[in-house]
Structure 1
């Protein structure tokens, strides 16, 4: 009996130590509304055990988690901001340690792209830290990808990073880079935005994207212009990930080779579907198929 008790005690101690180690190596950046993952589950579990949280332990930082954090902060005389920062982490008994890592070229390329598109606010240093993690999560969630914070094959593809690009620094140019990857991405955008439009209209969509690449008000790469937050409906609703047909590839190549049916337009919209009030303030300079185009 005593032997069994000792075995149980040892098992519990080992389990406890493993749990501590696991918790300690988990990413430890500030958690706030919209955060997602194992650390959020830890917060929810602690707050639920202490009577602050009544929702599910689902790892999603939503309304109930936010309200519970605010209650906890107010009760413990912390800064009441609804975020699990350093002080709140300490009060919750969570580790302050953050992941540090070695320089990685893929991370640096990703940081540069994410910063250009407005997702990333940190230094472009090739080190995968808290800001990079948060930026990748936001990008994945925005683009309908698996939200895991990992720059895997799908996320690389969405970022426009190929195996070839992965081996060298990403260099954005004022006219985009005429590569197979850029043509493929442009074809995806054309297909997602304008399949069903006349061929000239499809080339026109590609031309608008390239015109944005050259314009100082927009990101200076094809991927940057396409994935700029809120720029294209096909990115927002996931249609950009549909497989392009041959016509879309042909339209992409024609646009890349300099055919611009719009004469330099940087905006287009479908008047039957446009919901933005701002876009209606643009002066229509051309109509092709169902799309209206504007230069400024």
Structure 2
């Protein structure tokens, strides 16, 4: 005979899980909307990135994040012994067009093999809106109001080194501040990778100098900017007026000039 009481209990359990995770998602979206973490959430946004802390559990819960993506908390996470024995936090990343396992692994200071193991993947092929479990154990919250991985902090230091080595220290902090200001602005993408690799945004990406190892001063400048020191007072552009004939840059009202760089809104 079918035990309806048993199944009713199971259904109630699943509904409770869905409710709890939904509340978690709402909290994350609230934080995003008010500049905590990764940028902004707006009804016009087309970004599919969603990151949230999730509890290890033995159930499957589908959480609708927006009209274009559904996050699935998979049993693969709960059943993975290395995850169950870990004290690290995990989250969900929603794949977008053009993403690869390599770059997602870079973003979360992980490896392709680790991501495949966490998600039970047998191929490197991803599809848009696919939900991936990702490690969040290196995600740190900084006083400026963003949460970044160690890898992202390194990328900021690399860009500071490539753009401003030879500039005074405060000028290097200023370059870091511009990157962070873009990260928090609705005018720009809301991940460090997308800000730095946005088409034609930074010369060091085009000429390859971005990949040079940053020095200690660049790291210190990155951390000082992340701690909230902004010598530019909110600038989102900078350039060297002696080396660039870019009309757009020359047309912007200057906020401050530090060393060879002019900073603008």
Which TM-score applies when normalising by structure 1? Answer: 0.45
2: distance between equivalents of 1:290 and 1:224? 26
> 1:192 — aligned with what?
162
Question: Does 2:263 align with 1:293?
Answer: yes
1:275, CA displacement in angstroms? 3.5
Q: Deviations over 1:40-80 (max 9, x none)?
A: xxxxxxxxxxxxxxxxxxxxxxxxxxxxxxxxxxxxxxxxx
2: distance between equivalents of 1:293 and 1:220? 21
Q: Deviations over 1:145-180 (max 9, x none)?
A: xxxxx744xx557x5342189563599999432331
Instruction: Identify the structure with bigger relative contact order (alpha carbons < 8 Å, sequence gap 6+).
Output: 2
Alignment of 1:1-296 (within 5 A): 135=98, 151-152=101-102, 155=103, 160-163=107-110, 166=115, 168-169=133-134, 175-295=145-265
1:290, CA displacement in angstroms? 0.3
Which runs of no fewer than 5 residues in structure 2 stay unpaired?
Answer: 1-46, 50-67, 72-95, 119-132
2: distance between equivalents of 1:238 and 1:182? 17
Q: Deviations over 1:102-126 (max 9, x none)?
A: xxxxxxxxx957xxxxxxxxx8799
Change (3 A) 1:214 1:278: same
Could you list the runs of 4 or more consecutive aligned residues of structure 1 that deviate by over 4 angstroms after TM superposition? Answer: 123-126, 164-167, 169-175
Tell me, yes or no, if the aligned pair for 1:189 and 1:234 is still in contact at 8 Å.
Answer: yes
Whose radius of gyration is greater, 1 or 2?
1
Tell me, yes or no, if the aligned pair for 2:164 and 2:175 is still in contact at 8 Å.
Answer: yes
| Secondary structure in structure 2 of the residue aligned to 1:210 | helix
Write 1 or 2 for the structure with the bigger share of helix: 1
Aligned residues: 154
Write 1 or 2 for the structure with the bigger share of strand: 2
Alignment RMSD (CA, Å) = 3.2
2: distance between equivalents of 1:220 and 1:170? 19
